[in-house]
Structure 1
Amino acid sequence: MRLNEQTKLLGQRVVLVPYEARHVPKYHEWMSSATLRSQTASDELTLSEEYAMQQSWRQDNDKLTFIVLCAETYAQTNDEIAAMVGDTNLFLRPDEETPTHYVAEAEIMIATSEARGKGFGREAMLLMFKYAHQHLPLTKFEAKIDMDNVASLRLFKSFQFVETRRVEIFHEVTLERIITAEWLAWLSDQVQLTAKIYEHA
């Protein structure tokens, strides 16, 4: 989606930047991990396929993505590649009950073990929720998570998502968060607590 191609979101722990071609080699290196592919339900791609996927994320109107940077490393190096720790994505589909609006399926990946447990995923996801709500007509967020991914299940429940479906054959849990005035007030409070700045590049 071209919506965010000139956008940078700055938090205390993370910086979110658009997914560019220069990020692809490191991202491809991450996704050579069978564990990561399993956790994210991703297929193994060749490097050229990964570049094509990056272009799809940039151009398709039903996809929104940011690369997650460690804010401290980025401040020290001004090097996005060195600071990369993961990504966050939204897949959009029309809401059946409100066709002019969308349901956004949310994903977060912190790729390396040394970057986990530091609050990067939580802050990145809060920034993504806030940005998406401000710029897209959404009715709810959704997350589909492997049943064994305890950390992700706990994370999304901390965002006040509730379990709505469990599919044993896919080993997958679906959680949803309807966007209400009360939840948006909670989200604003959370973003103020975690993010110093929230702005366009």
Structure 2
Amino acid sequence: MRINENTLLEGNKVALVPYNAEHVPRYHEWMKSPELQQLTASEPLTLDQEYSMQKSWRDDEDKCTFIILDKQQWAASGAEDEQCMVGDVNLFLTDPTDPTLAELEVMIAEPSYRGRGVGKEVTRMMMCYGVTKLGIKKFQAKIGLDNDVSISMFKKLHFQEASVCRVFREVTLELTVDGSVGSKLLDDMCYVKERDYRQTRSNRTELVSH
């Protein structure tokens, strides 16, 4: 999805940036992990396949993806995105008959960033983006039954259990964003800043070079 190809979202702990080709090598290294393959129900890909996947995720109209960066490291050091990558977050429009329904997926790939509130902030930032930019009114999260940490996080964000699939060993959690839920979400995340990604990168490069 190209709607976010020049979007930078800045929260307290993280910055969300569009998934570009320069992010692929680090992402590819992450996805060699059997743990992450299991948590994301993914198969290992070659580097060339990962580049093709990145391009398709950028172009497909039913996928919206951001790379998660450590905001403090990224902002303070002038480091390249790849050095600050923490994980990724995705919205999938899974029902062609209902464009207001989206599946939400968050991956905190770097173990040292887990349990620090990063996933919670990223999830709420992505939900705000989905509501305000994509018109999403209902979110789903499909999580492996063994992933207690993720299940607990989504339930703390008021997602409710909708179904359990014993065959695929996953639970589906849902949250409908009605008036009160939407208002509270937007109020709670009013500190998030949206910037021009290319311009911000250009400005950072100029500061570092001087």
TM-score, structure 1 normalization: 0.93
Paired residues of 2:125 and 2:192 also in contact (CA < 8 A): no
Cα shift at 1:76: 2.3
Deviation at 1:93, TM superposition (A): 2.7
Do the aligned residues in 1 keep the contact of 2:7 with 2:194 (CA within 8 Å)?
A: no
Structure 1 segments unaligned to the other structure (5+ residues)? none
Cα pair distance change 1:169/1:94, threshold 3 Å: closer
State the Cα deviation string for residues 95-132 of structure 1 (Å, max 9, x = none).
Answer: 75xx4x33100000110111111211111111111111
- Cross-structure match for 1:167: 165
Question: 1: distance between equivalents of 2:47 and 2:59?
Answer: 19
Q: Which residue of 2 aligns with 1:4?
A: 4
> In the alignment, is the contact (CA less than 8 A) between 1:95 and 1:102 conserved in 2?
no
Q: For residue 138 of structure 1, what is the amino acid of its counterpart? A: I
In structure 2, what residue type is equivalent to 1:119?
G
Question: Which residue of the partner structure matches residue 43 of structure 1?
Answer: 43
Q: 1:95 to 1:54 in 2, by over 3 A?
A: closer
Q: CA RMSD in A?
A: 1.3
Structure 1 contact 70–120 (Cα < 8 Å) conserved? no
Q: What residue in structure 2 maps to residue 94 of structure 1?
A: 95
What is the SS of the residue equivalent to 2:185? helix
Whether the aligned pair in 2 keeps the contact of 1:64 and 1:89 (CA below 8 Å) is yes
Paired amino acid for 1:149: N
- Alignment counterpart, residue 147 of structure 2, candidates 146, 149, 160: 149
Give, in whole Å, the separation in 2 of the partners of 1:3 and 1:196: 18
Q: CA separation in 1, counterparts of 2:3 and 2:192?
A: 22
What is the CA distance between 1:189 and its match in structure 2? 2.8
Aligned-pair CA distance for 1:179: 1.5
Alignment of 1:122-201 (within 5 A): 122-192=120-190, 195-201=191-197
Identity of aligned residues (%): 44
Q: Deviation at 1:185?
A: 1.5
Distance change >3 Å, CA 95–CA 163, structure 1 → 2 = farther
Greater than 6 Å deviation, 4+ residue runs: none
Give the equivalent residue in structure 2 for 1:14.
14
Based on CA coordinates, which of the two structures has the bigger radius of gyration? 2
Gap runs ≥5 in structure 2: 198-210
Q: Offset at 1:77? A: 2.3
Matched with 2:65 is 65
SS in 1 for 2:64: strand
